[in-house]
Structure 1
Amino acid sequence: MATPNEETTTAPVPANSELGAPAQPKTSNPDALACDSDGNSTAECLKHRLLDADEALNTEYRATMQRLDVAGQRELRERERIWIRVRDAKCKGYGGADRDSCVADMSAARTAQLRGYQSGEIAP
């Protein structure tokens, strides 16, 4: 949150159509090969990838929220809730590693979108 002396901006919040969801989640997992070549289990590797993607998304979300006024924060919060429902619906049909990969991919796309939004690159 901005301190009383700091100015917050009323920047447009990314629209629902800009949620960063890939058209088709990955069903064959290229990360599995990289994990296997390192001697790590695929499941363990994907778990870390998912945790890293989630942490990066949460960091960008918090940074974006700090730049917004109260109305902008309310709008972004609602759009993020919608994005979570869309992500969960898109990844629901996948199981195990493919589901984790889908969630990580969508989280990475949303993080990039929020990062772009922070720097003014995303249109309203």
Structure 2
Amino acid sequence: MKHQIYLIIEDIELPLPDSYSLDYRDIEADTGGETEAGTIQRDIVRNKVASISVEFTSSPRLVKVLTGLKNKSNLKVKYLDTETLELKNTEMYIDKFSVKLVKDTSYKGLWEVSFSLEEY
């Protein structure tokens, strides 16, 4: 049985992540804020802008693939929408990229890679 697909970046199906966290945020215009009457006014420019945090325990080969993706400024991404449990298409970029050696092995190490994907 095939596992659930969480991320496909630039047509590369990534393996099952160790952790996957999806957050949505609204982007507000500068015109919002508190009125003189003390009520909050929100002028939403875009709603449900995705931000995904993932972490992988990976081989050196996957580290190279992810590092190559990190260097691109615009990525085609299919991600698992946690509300519908279906894949959703969007354009994103990689931020907060981190690589850490977990264990040195005869196969060039076991690595922990974490990053966030931010929707444009």
Q: With structure 2 as the length reference, what TM-score do the two structures score?
A: 0.26
Return the structure number with greater helix share. Answer: 1
Higher strand share: 2
Q: Who wins on radius of gyration, i.e. which is larger?
A: 2
Instruction: Name the structure, 1 or 2, with higher relative contact order (CA <8 Å, separation 6+).
Output: 1
